[in-house]
């Protein structure tokens, strides 16, 4: 069989085991476009690290239940659950982000019970915490910060593996927290909150007639009750725990630290590698510590010396004669696989030519889905194959 690592021969090899064994690395972030196997990669990395002696928690943002099933759990929720079946002295826990629950915990931990109840029941807060654009990414980073603090306080985990949100753009999880923070700390929200801050009639005495006209028009556009809800929400949270933008900036700085490592996950397809290339450029521009690229679902062949054209011609000759049609069919299947491998190799070489310093680990296409720990170990072992 042609080793999958040969699909990108110009790229240096990514030593996955060395990365997992490095105790200075506290966070591994798996990122990339949707549908390339980020969730499976994160789980496989977590299990392999645990098998090698690390105490690991895997945080997934994927709403699918595949991760829970492959780890032998009935379900995942907002709290880490221990995973049985680790080989060796390490440990593994897994969790799935509950966006609203994380936001609720954020409020409850920073407010007295009475104030927290007011915020949690606010209609604007209910919309913000469950469906507002950017909230999932913001809360994913908030949960990562919570896990880091908990790990340090309880000495519970020495490695956190993060599966980033399934987004149309792989960059959303970097950009959305800042966008949401900027919105919540922005000038418009400050203006909307002004009535609640200034208090009742005093507010109208201070403001000019022009600004009063602005709020009157805005109230008609978005609705008077919505305006009141926003004012009440911002006035409540602003006095409790400061700006959301600062928290997003703090998380961004944490991701730039030397104890974080990013793995870009991609499939050997044009769109996925284009997105991976864009992501690599962005991580480097933001001084994010990039460990390398994991290339999933790489095609292999058992007969590397038989090229597609030769196999197709042999199949045609067999089909014209009286020889086995089964053999001809197998030759055509081989030709298709070799053609796919050649296409994938060209795409991978285009990526590595543009990013010669990026280390690559390749994972072969598997016959079936990963549904248990053995499947995850197979993926982890494939990632860790040396040059």
- For residues 384 and 48, is the Cβ–Cβ distance under 8 A? yes
CATH number at residue 280: 3.40.50.300
pLDDT reported for residue 385: 75
Q: What is the rounded average pLDDT of the residues 332-338?
A: 69
* Burial class of residue 364 (count of CB atoms within 10 Å of its CB; 0-12, 13-18, 19+): buried
* Cα first-last separation, the chain: 15
Label the pairing between strands 260-266 and 159-163: unpaired
Residue 237 lies inside a defined structural domain of this protein: no
Residue 225 lies inside a defined structural domain of this protein: no
Q: SS3 of 267, please?
A: coil
Please give the mean pLDDT across all residues of the chain: 77
Residue 297 lies inside a defined structural domain of this protein: yes
Name the domain count of the chain.
1
Cα(262)–Cα(249) distance, integer angstroms = 18
- For residues 283 and 212, is the Cβ–Cβ distance under 8 A? no
Q: What is the rounded average pLDDT of the residues 234-247?
A: 61
Residue 68 lies inside a defined structural domain of this protein: yes
What is the DSSP annotation of 134-155?
A: THHHHHHHHHHHHHHHHHHHHT
Q: Of all helices (H) and strands (E), which one includes residue 95?
A: strand 91-96
pLDDT reported for residue 28: 97
Give yes or no for residue 223 having a pLDDT over 50: no
| Confidence tier at 195 by pLDDT (50, 70, 90) | low
pLDDT tens for each residue of 126-164: 877 776 666 777 788 788 888 998 999 999 999 999 988
Residue 313 lies inside a defined structural domain of this protein: no
pLDDT reported for residue 309: 65
Residue 107 lies inside a defined structural domain of this protein: yes
Residue 201 lies inside a defined structural domain of this protein: no
Q: Which domain holds residue 272?
A: 4-122+134-172+250-304+358-381
Q: SS3 of 370, please?
A: coil
Residue 234 lies inside a defined structural domain of this protein: no
Give yes or no for residue 206 having a pLDDT over 50: no
Q: In Å, what is the CA distance from 377 to each residue of 42, 48, 248?
A: 12, 7, 35
- Structure tokens given for 248: 């997003």
pLDDT tens for each residue of 82-118: 999 999 899 999 998 888 888 888 788 777 888 888 8
């Amino acid at each position: 069989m042609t080793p999958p690592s040969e699909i990108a021969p110009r790229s240096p090899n990514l030593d996955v085991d060395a990365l997992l064994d490095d105790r200075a690395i506290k966070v591994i972030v798996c990122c990339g476009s949707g549908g390339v196997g980020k969730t499976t990669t994160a789980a496989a990395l977590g299990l392999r690290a645990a098998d090698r002696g690390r105490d690991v928690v895997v945080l997934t943002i994927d709403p699918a239940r595949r991760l829970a099933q492959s780890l032998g759990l009935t379900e995942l929720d907002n709290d880490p659950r221990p995973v049985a079946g680790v080989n060796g002295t390490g440990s593994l826990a897994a969790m799935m982000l509950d966006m609203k629950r994380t936001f609720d915990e954020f409020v409850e931990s920073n407010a007295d019970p009475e104030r927290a109840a007011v915020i949690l029941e606010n209609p604007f807060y209910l919309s913000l915490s469950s469906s507002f654009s950017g909230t999932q990414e913001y809360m994913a980073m908030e949960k990562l910060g919570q896990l880091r603090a908990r790990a340090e306080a309880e000495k519970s985990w020495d490695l956190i593996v993060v599966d980033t949100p399934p987004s149309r753009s792989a960059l959303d999880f970097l950009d959305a927290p800042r966008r949401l923070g900027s919105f919540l700390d922005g000038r418009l929200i400050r203006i909307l909150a002004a009535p609640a801050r200034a208090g009742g009639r005093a507010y109208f005495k201070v403001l000019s007639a022009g600004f009063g006209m602005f709020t009157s028009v805005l109230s008609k556009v978005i609705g008077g009750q919505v305006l009141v809800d926003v004012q009440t929400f911002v006035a409540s949270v602003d006095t409790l725990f400061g700006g959301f933008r600062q928290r997003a900036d703090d998380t961004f700085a944490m991701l730039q630290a030397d104890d974080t490592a990013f793995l870009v996950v991609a499939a050997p397809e044009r769109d996925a590698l284009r997105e991976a290339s864009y992501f690599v450029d962005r991580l480097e521009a933001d001084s994010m510590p990039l460990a390398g690229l994991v290339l999933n679902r790489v095609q292999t062949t058992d007969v590397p010396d038989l090229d597609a054209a030769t196999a197709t011609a042999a199949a045609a000759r067999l089909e014209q004669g009286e020889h086995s049609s089964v053999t001809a069919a197998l030759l055509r299947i081989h030709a298709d696989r070799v053609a796919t491998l050649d296409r994938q190799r060209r795409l991978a070489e285009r990526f590595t030519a543009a990013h010669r310093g990026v280390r690559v680990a390749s994972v072969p296409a598997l016959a079936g889905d990963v549904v248990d720990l053995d499947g995850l170990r197979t993926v982890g072992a494939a990632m860790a194959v040396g040059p």
